[in-house]
Structure 1
Amino acid sequence: MHTMPSQTHQNLVLLFRRHPHLAFELAREANLQLSPSHEQIYEVSSEAEDPSRIEAPLRSDVVIAGTNAGEPVDAIVVEIQLEQDEAKAWALLFYIASVWRELGCHTWAMLFSPRHAVLVWAQTRLYPRRPELAPLVITPDLIPPITTLEHALSNMARAVLSVVLHGQGPDAVACACATIQAIIQLAPPDIERYLQLVQTSISQDDMQEVRDQVPTQVREHLSEWELESSLYRNGLDKGLEQGLEQGREQGLEQGLEQGRQQGLEQARGVLHETLLQLLQARDIEPDDSTVARIRACTLLDQLQAWIVRAGTVSALDDLFE
């Protein structure tokens, strides 16, 4: 059964697409026998026709080509792998052969995974009897922790990958602090996608420590992004959608109004719980009167403002100022 790619998978694919030089940098550092230099490095089509199933073309995640004198001389098929998949053994060979045939140049496969077990599997068990066929696996030693803002600013894409690979280790907080500041300072078009990769790669406790360490301006920007991310936005949209759907099913103006009100009520409930959970996550335990005040508030804008402020205050008394 075909499953939809996860958000993390799609965001990692996007990272390599937006930064095609990164694949070639990593390949050179891993001593792949590439041409000495390339005049241009860019993404090419990743779709390949399966001769046995012409009606169902296969598609790899990303294909990056390097050219000289206008002609491709090297290509790298980049695969993002979140789970062990035995079918990947023949698929990778098929991708390499298809790209090689299409571009007429030497082609290699590169595999990246945020999961250590998958990296080990790809290195040792994907081709147990033919290890020479194994793809270049991007292991943590190929991307050491990037823990300074200067380094993260010089190569933001690599900094994001360093958090993904080292987010459960001793350098998690330092990596995340440097990378988040670089992302916000550089403000790339896909800023929210990169922030998602960083946040989901470290624990909640480490993320709280990151919030405490970054400058106030970065913390405020991060809080605004978190407000617009899945917990708030998905909950708000879901509440409104469910309420309006109830109204549409009734097919009456009264039903629509009732549905709208129900949707708003559900949205308020989401914001109430979001604010209380955020305070607790930051070790700011709300007392009974504070809980009552929050739950009594019906203004979405006010609740949103409190949530943003909750990401920066250090004491409960500062929340309602």
Structure 2
Amino acid sequence: MPSIRHEIPLQLLRNRPELAPRIARTVLGLPVPDLPCWHPGPETVTLLSPGELHLDVVLVGTNADKPEFAIVHEVQNACSTADLERIALSWPAYVTHVRQRLACPVLLLAFCPDEPTARKIATPVETGHPDFVFRARTYWPGMLPAITTVAEADARPELALLAALGHLGDCERRIVLAMVLEAMQRLGPELRVHYHDYITNCVPARYRKEWEELVAIAIENYHWESDFAHEHQEIGRVEGRAEGRVEALAGSILRILERRGITVDDVVCARVITCSDADQLTHWLDRALTVSAAEQLFDDRS
């Protein structure tokens, strides 16, 4: 049975079909056309003999309803000898069969959990035909840009989840994980539990407590978190007040500073709780995840 580490990245790519070609162009530097429409394509290919090839995701770029480019996107979490042997036989066939079916260029991308796995999966495959050498194009979370602001998380929620696990260094871990929680709110309530489980499953054990603290803070403070809390009863429901977005944002800022062990004096506290500008509070909320002193909330130069 496919694991959550395999299925959730695929779901994110299906949610946002234009994400894979954007990664191919901007992260891998591949010549993928910037077409006006991308949509999921056929994920099975019928063979000449009875049977089918089952592909993870096929994304088709069209122009005037005509296929112009296709991306076969696989998620590959292991690189054992057996995995490499299977890939050597099946992935070249994925490309040639999809190319034959859609009559357009085809690229195969593979999302891997880390750089060593990606390098092994990208090993060239000698097909036996002269000059026909197949090599998958691979990437891992650390190659993707870190999502560190609310604006980015809201605009590219799928990218926030895909990239997060590659940016867990001390300097950015907390804000990256906080932006994962922000991104979840843009990705449909029916799937949030699965997204939470995916991140929890993939975050290294040494950071698990920090991740769970951030979840608790989010559940306790955001007014829209009543549904989120209901969906996450299995990790402990935390009762919180929902007295409006402005009050919730102010409470979140102070709570984050407190959880980070940063002293908040009466002057800072008063300035935060008396602010009625939601945009300003959102900006301070972003900064609360990274500042080393409470006063730095208000200093854009720090």
TM-score using structure 2 length: 0.66
The corresponding residue for 1:81 is 76
The corresponding residue for 1:11 is 8
Query: How far apart are 1:137 and its partner, in Å?
Result: 0.9
The corresponding residue for 2:163 is 162
The corresponding residue for 2:32 is 34
| TM-aligned CA distance change 1:46 to 1:191, over 3 Å | same
Alignment of 1:97-176 (within 5 A): 97-123=96-122, 125-127=123-125, 133-140=134-141, 142-167=143-168, 171-176=172-177
| TM-aligned CA distance change 1:132 to 1:142, over 3 Å | farther
Asked if the contact 1:220–1:308 (Cα under 8 Å) also holds between the matched residues in 2, the reply is no
Q: Which of 1 and 2 has greater Rg?
A: 1
| TM-aligned CA distance change 1:18 to 1:186, over 3 Å | closer
TM-score using structure 1 length: 0.63
The letter of the residue matching 1:133 is: F
Query: How far apart are 1:32 and its partner, in Å?
Result: 1.8
Asked if the contact 2:114–2:141 (Cα under 8 Å) also holds between the matched residues in 1, the reply is no
| TM-aligned CA distance change 1:134 to 1:200, over 3 Å | same
Unaligned runs of 5+ in 1: 230-306, 315-321
| TM-aligned CA distance change 1:75 to 1:308, over 3 Å | same
Asked if the contact 2:158–2:183 (Cα under 8 Å) also holds between the matched residues in 1, the reply is no
Asked if the contact 2:114–2:140 (Cα under 8 Å) also holds between the matched residues in 1, the reply is no
Asked if the contact 1:163–1:201 (Cα under 8 Å) also holds between the matched residues in 2, the reply is no
- Whole-Å separation in 2 of the counterparts to 1:137 and 1:169: 26
Query: How far apart are 1:310 and its partner, in Å?
Result: 9.1
- Whole-Å separation in 1 of the counterparts to 2:93 and 2:62: 22
Asked if the contact 1:152–1:159 (Cα under 8 Å) also holds between the matched residues in 2, the reply is yes
- Whole-Å separation in 2 of the counterparts to 1:15 and 1:184: 14
* Percentage of matched positions with identical amino acids: 22
Asked if the contact 1:172–1:202 (Cα under 8 Å) also holds between the matched residues in 2, the reply is no
Alignment of 1:224-235 (within 5 A): 224-228=230-234
- Whole-Å separation in 1 of the counterparts to 2:173 and 2:55: 30
Query: How far apart are 1:41 and its partner, in Å?
Result: 0.6
Q: Deviations over 1:98-138 (max 9, x none)?
A: 11000000001000022433212123x35389896222212
Q: Give the alignment partner of residue 72 of structure 1, picking from 67, 70, 77.
A: 67
Q: Deviations over 1:216-236 (max 9, x none)?
A: 23577665444347xxxxxxx
- Whole-Å separation in 2 of the counterparts to 1:207 and 1:131: 45
Unaligned runs of 5+ in 2: 242-254, 259-302
- Whole-Å separation in 2 of the counterparts to 1:169 and 1:109: 33
Query: How far apart are 1:143 and its partner, in Å?
Result: 0.5
The corresponding residue for 1:317 is none
